């Protein structure tokens, strides 16, 4: 019966017989037009494909089939419960749904569970199981097998409830020494495989309410980034990450914090934006997180000159019309984020209902239900990521053997054919920042 009710809810949503509430600000035609314009401007590039024969002469009227294989933009989710669900069937459904949607995964490096006893590390596959804390080796292996870029979260997060019991809360000198040891171990083991790190998590929140955090040295933030810079490859993205309210309500404070690092010539490669938006009714009434508030915050953060990343997202579905409202909100916010010029990636937080931290499960903030079946919000993202924001076209070369096309940034399969001649070039890449991408295909018998 429960599965039947879930099916009916999804069916009614997709057929449009149950209407989700959409705030007027998000429905504004001017906003929608601006979002579409910005996506076209910032997420696409131009390309020229030339087809020649083996003598180098242009081939006119050749058919060119262009299919996008991957997106340059990073769409992700945390991978905290990989291989941890109750049955093989649930684990399989989780993995299938994940790889269909995402090219980016956040894996857990929380200190308390990674080193529950001093010098007793849970890096290896087969380590003692802990819920939502898959051993990093196991997660890294799976991501590499599925060609998914990896983010480590967090490198340092000294909020006391996430710290090992054996680390003193009141000894900042020892904390610094232990943190350096931890960072060195992470760099040595994962420096080549983990492309992105949250170096320091929720620093503005720590400064506002230090009593629930371990005591840190005065130079903690600057020291942490300097240390990470010295330990990790220069190709690694070193990020700062902070809370939802900090980013959207205390934007100036967050900006000044990052500016303070940059003025010291300290390397910061990205700015993280959390979005645990638990006030669905207020959002739907237009009272919180309006498109103007969100865009203005990202504009100010963008002035730092660093890429922006949405790092954690929760949108509840536990109230009346929950699935429908969640899907409508997801559609709105993802389109806005994708249209922001300096946005580099977007990461959902808990993929399935029942996979969140503690009482956060009450919000039912997953894109999948507890049986790991897609909710309407998942289907919205599938449509956006795999269809609306992908380029697949078939064109015919002109008299000069050329075709021009504009497509979303990413890798492509390009196939040229004419009569019995066939040539493939895999991959062709449209990169952001390139004025125009070019390739030449040689047709052969």
List pLDDT tens digits, range 6-42: 433 444 444 443 467 788 899 999 999 999 999 999 9
Q: Quick check: 2 pLDDT over 60?
A: no
Dihedral sign (CA 274, 278, 283, 287):
negative
CATH architecture classification, 70-388: Alpha-Beta Barrel (3.20)
| Fold that domain 43-67+389-445 belongs to in CATH | Immunoglobulin-like (2.60.40)
Q: Do domains 43-67+389-445 and 70-388 have the same CATH topology?
A: no
- Pick from 297, 279, 291: which is nearest to 23 by CA? 291
The pLDDT value recorded for residue 445 is: 62
% pLDDT > 90, the chain: 91
Q: Quick check: 335 pLDDT over 90?
A: yes
The secondary element (H helix, E strand) that includes residue 392 is: strand 392-396
pLDDT digit string (tens) for 365-415?
A: 999 999 999 999 999 999 999 999 999 999 999 999 999 999 999 999 999
pLDDT digit string (tens) for 175-198?
A: 999 999 999 999 999 999 999 999
The pLDDT value recorded for residue 190 is: 98
* Least confidently predicted of 13-27, 60-74, 162-176, 198-212: 13-27
Residue 424 banded pLDDT, cuts 50, 70, 90: confident
Q: Quick check: 1 pLDDT over 80?
A: no
Instruction: Please report, for the chain, the start and end positions of each structural domain, with discontinuous segments joined by +.
Output: 43-67+389-445, 70-388
Mean pLDDT within 127-142: 98
pTM of the model: 0.94
Mean pLDDT within 211-232: 98
The pLDDT value recorded for residue 422 is: 76
The secondary element (H helix, E strand) that includes residue 26 is: helix 24-27
SS3 content of the chain, % helix, strand, coil (to 5): 40, 25, 35
């Amino acid at each position: 019966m429960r599965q039947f009710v879930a099916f009916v809810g999804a069916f009614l949503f997709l057929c449009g017989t149950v209407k989700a509430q959409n705030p007027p600000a998000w429905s504004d035609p001017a906003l929608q037009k601006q979002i579409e314009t910005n996506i076209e401007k910032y997420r696409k590039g131009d390309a020229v494909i030339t087809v020649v024969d083996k003598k180098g002469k242009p081939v006119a009227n050749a058919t060119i089939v262009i299919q996008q294989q991957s997106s340059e933009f990073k769409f992700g989710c945390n991978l905290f419960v990989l291989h941890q669900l109750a049955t093989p069937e649930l684990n399989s459904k989780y993995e299938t749904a994940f790889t269909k949607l995402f090219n980016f995964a956040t894996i857990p490096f929380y200190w308390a569970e990674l080193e529950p006893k001093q010098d007793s590390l849970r890096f290896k596959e087969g380590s003692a199981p802990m819920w939502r804390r898959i051993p990093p080796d196991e997660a890294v292996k799976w991501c590499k097998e599925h060609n998914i870029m990896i983010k480590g979260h967090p490198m340092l997060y000294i909020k006391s409830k996430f710290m090992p019991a054996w680390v003193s809360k009141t000894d900042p000198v020892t904390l610094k020494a232990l943190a350096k040891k931890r960072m060195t171990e992470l760099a040595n083991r994962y420096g080549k495989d983990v492309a992105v790190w949250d170096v320091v998590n929720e620093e503005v929140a720590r400064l506002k309410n230090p009593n629930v955090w371990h005591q840190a040295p005065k130079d903690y933030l600057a020291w942490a980034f300097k240390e990470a810079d010295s330990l990790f490859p220069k190709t690694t993205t070193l990020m700062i990450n902070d809370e939802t309210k900090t980013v959207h309500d205390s934007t100036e404070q967050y900006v000044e914090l990052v500016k303070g690092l940059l003025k010291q010539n300290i390397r910061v490669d990205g700015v993280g934006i959390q979005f645990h938006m638990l006030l669905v009714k207020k959002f739907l009434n237009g009272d919180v997180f309006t498109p103007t508030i969100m865009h203005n915050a990202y504009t100010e953060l963008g002035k730092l000159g660093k890429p922006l990343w949405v790092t954690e997202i929760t949108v509840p579905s536990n109230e009346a019309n929950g699935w429908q409202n969640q899907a409508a909100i997801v559609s709105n916010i993802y389109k806005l984020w994708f249209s922001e010029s300096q946005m580099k990636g977007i990461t959902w937080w808990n993929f399935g209902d029942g996979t969140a931290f503690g009482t956060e499960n009450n919000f039912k903030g997953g894109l999948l239900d507890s049986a790991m079946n897609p909710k309407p919000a998942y289907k919205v993202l599938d449509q956006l990521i795999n269809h609306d924001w992908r380029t697949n076209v078939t064109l015919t070369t002109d008299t000069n053997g050329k075709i021009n096309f504009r497509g979303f940034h990413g890798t492509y399969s390009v196939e040229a054919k004419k009569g019995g001649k066939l040539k493939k070039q895999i991959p062709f890449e449209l990169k952001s920042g390139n004025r125009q991408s070019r390739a030449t295909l040689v047709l052969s018998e």
